[in-house]
A and B are shown apart, each in its own frame.
Chain A
Amino acid sequence: MLSRRAKLTYWMSRYLERTNFTSRLLISTNELQIDLYLNDEIAWKPFLSVLGLSKDFTKVKRKINEKNIMKYFISDKINPSSIISCLQFSKENSLIIRDRLPEQSVIKLNELFLSFNKSITKNLNKNKYLDLLKSVIQGSQNFMYSTDLEMQRNMDYQFLRLGRFIERSDMMVRILQTQTLRSKEHSKDYEYLTLEWINILKSISAFQAYRQYSKQDISISDIINFFLKTETFPRSVMWNLNQIERAIYRISKKNELLKEIKEIKKAVKRYRVQIAKLDKLLIFLAQIIKKITLLDEKIQKYYFS
């Protein structure tokens, strides 16, 4: 497989996965704000900070509020992490490598981009943009579904998976960071903390799976463990790390990369969640993000250069 094509496939997949997660996070934070009467700062500040966009955002928009955040993350083409930017990057990559993708996948991605791009030119009310975000989740899943059904299990497929799982594990850790930061903002007697964590589970359609896994009263440390460690749920950090390991193994059995991934897995497995020590949790999550970034850099170095 051409190195250049591997890179384009990997990033196409990452960008598309990012649109899925960003949409989910925007919907869930919005719901959280409605259900729990959270003020704008508590609802959205952690979100910006975890995505590393606090500075950029305040540069462009003055006030942190739902309207500005939505615009910034949905339709702002200056924001490289906005859904429109990610969809555009993903679609452009898919057009360059369309010779290797199933025809229907390219068509689905192209249609998703075209309809999204058209919708954002209109003045959107709240219901409309929530529908739009849901359509992004659905559209990106349609793309994945058609690649799963129609692609040969060749190198192109492995790079598609690699991109998807690196992005997903990164985003999962960031979701945990967001809620941990938000938890820190609340006073000690805040009564809805558990509800906020449940909302996070719901945002990634994981509540049902969590209940089946836990078989206990709902506890925050249990939820965090589920996010991090369960090997049977396709959005948990550990499950994604396993998939990354498998994809790398099928691409080239590159020992250095496999060693790297094993170390991340070991760190996740060993970590003991102590809900009273949120600072420690934040440090741990930052370390995992750093390790995933390092792994991504090595993937680029070994396969794409």
Chain B
Amino acid sequence: MITVSQLSFTYRKGRSVLEDLSLQLEAGHICGLLGRNGTGKSTLLYQLCGLLFPVKGSCEVLGFRPGRREPEFLQQVFLLPEAFYMPDVTVESYLGTYTPFYPAFDREAFYQYLNTFEVPRDAQLRRISHGQQKKVLISFALATKARILLMDEPTNGLDIPSKRQFRKLMAGNLLPGQLILISTHQVKDLDSLIDEVLILDDHRIILHESVDRITEKLAFHQVMEPSEVPGLLFSEGALKGYAVVAQNTDGEHTKMDMEMFFNAVLAEKPQVLPLFNR
């Protein structure tokens, strides 16, 4: 579905963002693209939808070269940007203007999502809060039924109940043959939502694993004394004792703590990454 090979990208000011990045993604997953601020998560998303062109290497999405931005390609790929524009129209008028561009758009589903987010149908887009505007855009993005849905920091600007609504919506709306790629640095927001993790660091994808394989290799615990944990990789002080990430030596299944995992990978690269080398 997405094949990126040896892609490099440098902004005009000369700052290299992506170097020799290769990646392959298949349909049927909700992938979390994690990384620190400024590591190039948004840049990678822009490459995948054709907003930026590779300086070196290639990118193929659904058999198209994204940089050509052919209408048939853009009908199947939708990017929910972090910063967005909303015209001074009503939700109804917005739908009337934009839905014709997306042949698979599902109006009923859109209104359903809007109800879940508790946004009034007759809202004037410029008169509602930024968070509510974002909810309209998230609902629109999901209702396009695009085969590839790219989301750049979708939970930024959402309050805590809305983040829960967002997770609920996303979890129940992955279509067969669809791929959802969510970029965020607020990794906690993606807990229990994603089934594949990509970590972007040092200008490339340093880890690309399914959540199942991560929990197969690692165990996540809350302990009072970290030194007693066998195969300890990373620990962090918590309210009651320590949250730890350790090697899963006895095949137990623990719930993955996305934030702990992300921190463990970044802090203990030499110890954690070799566990996933195939």
Q: Do A and B bind each other?
A: no
A residues touching B (Cβ–Cβ < 8 Å)?
Answer: none
